[in-house]
Amino acid sequence: MSKPKSILKVVLPLLLGIGLVWYSLSKISISLLIQYFVDAKYSWIVLGIVLGLLSHASRAYRWLFMAEPLGYKPKFMNSFMAVYSAYLINFTIPRAGELARASILSNYEEIPFEKGFGTIVAERVADTIMLLFIIAIAFFLEFEFIYNFFSSKFNPLTLIVGGITLVIVVLALFFVVQKSNSKLALKVKTFLSGLIEGALSIFKMKKKWAFIGHTIFIWLMYVLMFYVTTLALPELQNISLAAILIGFILASFSIAATNGGIGSFPEAIVIAFSLFNMAEDPSRAFGWIMWSTQTIVIIVAGGLSLLYLPVYNRKKTAV
């Protein structure tokens, strides 16, 4: 990859994040936002933090099941600290956390980088499947709402024609990619085959049901973390399940848009909640409260992990 392209991949999400922060804060007065922070019920926020910690601990433990078939028995603490270190590094360079996590496990558990990174990619496949499953649940539970919403914005006939056209285009692209030997087509084929191989590898591992159980637990904790944090603001206490799920889905995608979701996370919440006619101010305040508290936890836990990793492993080596 060329150096200018690498720089753009780092700089553009950061500039987008800064722009979205400015936009978000221009839509709500700082004094009002501070007041929301002051008036929030922190017992719910703390519970959300605990649920987040449980999900990350489960993620770290889940990875042990993937390392076992490779002939390694890594320590849980190393896996746990690698997870938080990766989250912290993603704030500086988007998507660099996975590389850093594999590197940490290679340094402290002597797992070859390629193998460690391969297991992390397989984990991402499982997480992608879970996110798609949550999207499917939201669509199933709120099919009428989603249909009515798009029907009010677009002509139903246009939606049907658009849907059929989309299916035809996807099938045509699939056929072209299958037959083509261009660089782009080969990259797409490699990516898709990797996804399929990663998904199937989950069912080949010894403790596949434990892995699947942890995957469900991780995402259940994510959704519950999102839900209980809404209870911190009285204005959001009657929020519907549909709003929770759609808010969670858009917020999840926003994290990939900018460094750790900076700026994009609160605005994704506003977009999702506005679909349900919820007021902008508490929606935006909730987005900032949720993002800020989780970010602080990641900075503290990630920073401590990076500092403590060499100390922890020096002690273990001495023993």
| Segment 162-205, tens digit of pLDDT | 667 877 877 777 777 677 777 776 776 666 665 565 556 666 67
Mean pLDDT value of segment 94-121: 83
What one-letter code names the amino acid at 178? Q
- Domain of 96 in residue numbering reads as 11-121+207-318
What's the rounded mean pLDDT across residues 129-141?
87
pLDDT, position 85: 92
If one compares 292 and 175, the residue with the highest pLDDT of the two is 292
Instruction: List alpha helices for the chain, DSSP H.
Output: 3-26, 30-39, 42-67, 76-92, 97-109, 113-141, 143-153, 156-179, 183-202, 208-230, 241-257, 264-274, 280-318
Query: pLDDT value at position 178?
Result: 72
**Residue 192 forms part of a structural domain:** no
Distance of CA 286 to the CA centre of its chain: 18
Q: Does 197 map to a domain?
A: no
Q: Helix 113-141 vs helix 97-109: angle between axes, to the nearest 10 degrees? A: 140
CA distances from 52 to 47, 87, 192 (A): 9, 12, 30
Torsion, Cα 200 203 206 212, to 10 degrees, reads: 120
> Could you tell me the pTM of the whole model?
0.81
Cα 305 from Cα 84, distance rounded (Å): 7
Band the pLDDT of 267: cuts 50, 70, 90: very high
Nearest to residue 107, comparing CAs of 309, 319, 277, 302?
Answer: 309
Whole-angstrom Cα distance, residue 39 to residue 60? 34
| Residue 37, domain member (yes or no) | yes
Mean pLDDT of all residues in 256-277: 88
More confident: 84 or 206: 84
- pLDDT value of position 269: 94
Residue 226 lies in a domain: yes
pLDDT at 299: 92
**Which has more confidence, 66 or 75?**
75
Q: Is residue 60 situated within a structural domain?
A: yes
- Rounded mean pLDDT of the chain? 83
Residue predicted with more confidence, 224 or 112? 224
Statement: residue 257 has pLDDT above 90: no
Listed in order, strand segments (DSSP E) in 47-141 are none
Nearest to 141 by CA among 223, 248, 242: 242
**Is a pLDDT exceeding 60 seen at residue 209?**
yes
Q: Is the pLDDT of residue 131 over 60?
A: yes
Looking at 34-43, 199-208, 257-266, which range is the least confident one? 199-208
pLDDT of residue 244: 92
Question: What is the pLDDT, as a whole number, of residue 36?
Answer: 94
- Looking at the domain assignment, is residue 96 inside a domain? yes
Q: How many domains does the chain have?
A: 1
Query: Cα dist. 175→128, 151, 170, 171 in Å?
Result: 24, 31, 9, 6
Stretch 197-220: mean pLDDT, rounded?
Answer: 80
Q: Give the whole-angstrom CA distance, residue 54 versus residue 163.
A: 40
Tell me if 106 is assigned to some domain. yes
Q: Write down the pLDDT at residue 154.
A: 58
Tokens 């914005």 appear where?
153
Position 122 scores a pLDDT of 82
> Is 165 inside any structural domain?
no
Question: What is the pLDDT, as a whole number, of residue 83?
Answer: 93
The mean pLDDT of 55-63, rounded to a whole number, is 93
